[in-house]
């Protein structure tokens, strides 16, 4: 009869071994590796680079603001003008909005009660 794969057939010995003297020399090996590594050279940032970076940031911000303002004014289209007559028309058109703004709870309850659900 063939042997079945069971836990009883697995050997009880540890198959992994540590080389002789490994832990005795481990500390010295680690210290030798860390002290032998070369330190990276320090990066020297010149005065020119320190002044140039903020100026580039300011220029980029101004360009972005100008681009955004241009897009905004073009999106307003032909209907947008700075005429005083248009401002007075907007003032009278806002009278209707005041009616909606001045609703109180009784008006809201009355409106909801009158709705046909």
| pTM check: above 0.85 | no
Q: Is the model's pLDDT at 74 over the cut of 80?
A: yes
27-31, 65-69, 110-114 — which is least confidently predicted? 110-114
CB 45 within 8 A of CB 39: no
- Nearest CA to 62 out of 74, 51, 73, 54 is that of 54
pLDDT score recorded for residue 41: 75
Distance separating alpha carbons of residues 93 and 95, to the nearest angstrom: 5
């Amino acid at each position: 009869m063939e042997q079945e794969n069971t836990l009883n057939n697995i050997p009880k010995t540890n198959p992994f071994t540590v080389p002789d003297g490994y832990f005795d020399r481990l500390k010295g090996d680690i210290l030798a590796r860390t002290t032998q590594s070369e330190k990276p050279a320090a990066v020297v940032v010149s005065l020119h680079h320190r002044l140039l970076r903020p100026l580039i940031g300011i220029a980029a911000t101004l360009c972005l603001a100008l681009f955004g303002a241009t897009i905004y004014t073009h999106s307003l289209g032909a209907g947008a003008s700075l005429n005083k007559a248009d401002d007075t028309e907007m003032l009278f058109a806002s009278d209707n909005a005041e009616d909606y703004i001045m609703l109180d709870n009784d008006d809201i309850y009355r409106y909801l009660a009158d709705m046909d659900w």
